[in-house]
């Protein structure tokens, strides 16, 4: 009875010591990071602020683990219980290290985002770098997570023995797993290709499956396209490697816009050309690089006038086209109302009969 009482008291003291180590670790974490946040608030660099902010949560697991490791030598548990606790600590350490590595990838993203500003007009370099960092960070997260989970599973002897037994049939198992995971693997490989070849970047203007929109998110296995009417089109990453699509901002953000106006043959083209130039000079949407007006087609009823204009980006080009179209129509209505498209019907007099033919009759 005395031994049982002493054994129960040892368990209780051991549990209390472990609990105290956890609480002290959390308290030290709060004090330590509270001081770090105050220090980084006074500095101007982005590195220290980002590191403290992203490492705070993983450290909330690391600090109690350190406390437990420090007190384990003075805590006496039965061998089986001590082995279970040590195994659990090992799993927690692996998880904490993986969590910290993932947090460091976010620090890198913050540094790149601070260095490359995408809010400016000519932001192709910034979008290229941020897209590469974004895709590679997500791939790194997947790799770190898979490796950490594999190491954690291999710490269990039962799973390790099963793995050794299945090693002989690894070819068949690998083939089956490869076939089952083919879509996921193809999208991961497509993500690496996309980061290197850059067919799309964040905020690129694209036309995919007949829909016009912007690249909003690039995930590990799919891309989110924000359609002009605020719908979202979710497309697998492999689509952009295997299928053709339009990228309006592949090399530069500026675009040429066109407006087609159909008029009668009587319209003075030079006056319309002068009016187009005046409209473009009066608007802030035109970037001043290119403009023109030409007769691009002539049918039996109308002339086709094509107005050409340049803008700094796709959204501005759309607004500029609408503005030019409205003002050209207004100009024709006010100055040359008779030059709008019309259908002509010509009625002639009837031809009298030939007198000789009539006499003969």
Q: Which of 191, 224, 249 is the last residue of a domain?
A: 249
Q: Which residue has the tokens 């002897």?
A: 157
**How many helices (H) does the chain have, and how many strands (E)?**
11, 8
Mean pLDDT over 230-241 rounds to 86
In this predicted model, what pLDDT tens digit does every residue of 251-295 receive, in sequence order?
A: 766 778 889 999 988 899 999 999 999 999 999 999 888 899 999
Q: State how far the alpha carbon of 18 is from the alpha carbons of 13, 86, 255, in Å.
A: 9, 12, 66
Is 351 inside a domain boundary? no
What's the domain range around 16? Answer: 1-115
Mean pLDDT over 303-320 rounds to 87
Is 95 inside a domain boundary? yes
In this predicted model, what pLDDT tens digit does every residue of 163-210 receive, in sequence order?
A: 444 444 444 444 444 444 455 556 666 666 666 667 887 778 888 888
Examine the domain organization and report whether 132 and 244 are in the same domain: yes
| pLDDT for position 328 | 93
| Per-chain mean pLDDT for the chain | 77
Is 84 inside a domain boundary? yes
Confidence of residue 125 (pLDDT cuts 50, 70, 90): low
Mention every residue, 6+ apart, whose C-beta is less than 8 A from residue 30: none
Query: What residues pair up with 257 in beta bridges, in sequence order?
Result: 309
| pLDDT for position 358 | 47
Mention every residue, 6+ apart, whose C-beta is less than 8 A from residue 205: 212, 213, 214, 247, 248, 249, 313, 314
Mean pLDDT over 313-342 rounds to 87
Examine the domain organization and report whether 101 and 189 are in the same domain: no
The CA distance from 296 to 282, in Å, is 25
Is 357 inside a domain boundary? no
Domain CATH for 309? 3.30.70.100
Examine the domain organization and report whether 104 and 154 are in the same domain: no
The CA distance from 36 to 294, in Å, is 66
Mean pLDDT over 46-72 rounds to 83
Mention every residue, 6+ apart, whose C-beta is less than 8 A from residue 352: none
Question: What would the 3-class secondary structure string for 177-243 be?
Answer: HHHHCHHHHHHHHHHHHHHHHCCCCCCCEEEECCEEEEEEEECCCEEEEEECCCCEEEEECCHHHHC
SS3 244: coil
Mention every residue, 6+ apart, whose C-beta is less than 8 A from residue 312: 121, 253, 254, 287
Terminal-residue alpha carbon distance, the chain: 149
Q: HSE (CB half, 13 Å, CA atoms) of 329? A: 11
Confidence of residue 354 (pLDDT cuts 50, 70, 90): low
Examine the domain organization and report whether 66 and 137 are in the same domain: no
| pLDDT for position 180 | 46
The CA distance from 361 to 359, in Å, is 5
User: Higher pLDDT residue, 187 or 361?
Assistant: 187
Is 355 inside a domain boundary? no
Q: Which of 249, 275, 303 is the last residue of a domain?
A: 249
């Amino acid at each position: 009875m005395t031994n049982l009482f002493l054994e129960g008291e040892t368990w209780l003291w051991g549990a209390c010591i472990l609990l105290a180590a956890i609480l002290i670790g959390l308290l030290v974490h709060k004090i330590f990071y509270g001081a770090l946040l105050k220090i980084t608030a006074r500095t101007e660099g982005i590195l220290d602020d980002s590191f403290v902010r992203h490492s705070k949560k993983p450290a909330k697991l690391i600090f109690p683990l350190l406390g437990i490791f420090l007190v384990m030598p003075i805590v006496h548990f039965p061998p089986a219980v001590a082995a279970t606790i040590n195994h659990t600590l090992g799993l927690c350490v692996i998880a904490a290290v993986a969590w910290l590595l993932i947090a460091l990838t976010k620090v890198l993203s913050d540094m790149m985002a601070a260095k490359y500003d995408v809010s400016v007009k000519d932001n192709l370099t910034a979008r290229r770098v941020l897209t590469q960092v974004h895709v590679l960070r997500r791939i790194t997260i997947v790799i770190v997570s898979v490796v950490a989970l594999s190491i954690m599973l291999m710490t269990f002897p039962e799973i390790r023995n099963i793995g050794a037994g299945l090693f002989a049939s690894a070819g068949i198992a690998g083939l089956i797993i490869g076939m089952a995971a083919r879509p996921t693997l193809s999208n991961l490989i497509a993500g690496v290709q996309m980061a290197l070849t850059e067919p799309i970047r964040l905020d690129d203007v694209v036309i995919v499956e007949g829909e016009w929109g912007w690249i909003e998110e690039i995930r590990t296995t799919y891309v989110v396209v924000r359609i002009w009417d605020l719908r979202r089109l979710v497309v697998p990453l492999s689509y952009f490697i295997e299928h053709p699509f339009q990228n309006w901002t592949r090399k530069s953000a500026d675009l040429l816009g066109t407006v087609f106006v159909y008029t009668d043959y009587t319209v003075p083209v030079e006056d319309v050309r002068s009016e187009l130039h005046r409209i473009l000079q009066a608007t802030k949407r035109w970037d001043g690089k290119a403009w023109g007006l030409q007769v691009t087609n002539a049918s039996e009823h109308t002339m086709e006038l094509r107005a050409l204009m340049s803008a700094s980006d796709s959204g501005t080009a759309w607004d500029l086209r609408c503005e030019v179209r409205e003002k050209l129509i207004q100009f024709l209505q006010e100055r040359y109302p008779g030059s709008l498209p019309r259908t002509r019907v010509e009625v002639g007099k009837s031809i009298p009969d030939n007198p000789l033919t009539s006499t003969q009759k």
